[in-house]
Amino acid sequence: MKNLLNYSTIIKHLERQGWKRKNIKNPETVASHSWHMAILALYLSKDYEKEYDFNKVINLCLCHDLAESIIGDITPNDDLYKNKKEIEKEAMKKIKEECNFDKVYDLFIEYEEKNTKEAKLANDLDQIDMYIQSLDYENKHKDKDLSEFRNSALNKLLTPLGRKIIDSL
């Protein structure tokens, strides 16, 4: 457990680089982003519990960015982005082995492969959180145009539910 706590502590303090690139002071952390996704999933469970396994969705949300505790938050603007999938997979293998926790790796793979409806919804929640966060930062920083984040989110939605949530915002 100690190793997992060490990795999760790192992402509690790891600032999201996309927001830093836009000069947002004190941006959200990787862990706060994952937590927000999980809270969104928990809320959705009250109305969509028959359509999705929300225990799985919440677990996917909580684990999807754990590799960043080793590799950092790689954004599309970084040179390493073209190899991000492989780098993340290797980092998650290391976490799995050091923590003796196969489930965390399996959840990461499921999230990345997007072959289940739960993984697709978790991916949508990732985009929805970015969309919401961009609105929050624009509200707090009137001089910022963060529409590129919303446009990116809109282009990556995978589920009708994800689209419905965005349309309601």
pLDDT digits (tens, 9 = 90+) for 59-104: 999 999 999 999 999 999 899 999 999 999 999 999 999 999 999 9
The pLDDT tens digits of the residues spanning 136-151 come to 999 999 999 999 999 9
Q: How far apart are the first and last CA of the chain?
A: 39
Structurally, how many domains does the chain consist of? 1
CATH number of the domain residue 44 falls in: 1.10.3210.10
Please compute the mean of the pLDDT values over residues 140-167 and round it to a whole number.
97
Q: What domain range includes position 7?
A: 2-168
CA–CA distances in Å: residue 166 to residues 23, 27, 34, 103? 25, 22, 18, 30
CB 131 within 8 A of CB 169: yes
pLDDT band of 168, cuts 50, 70, 90: very high
Please state the pTM of the whole predicted model. Answer: 0.96
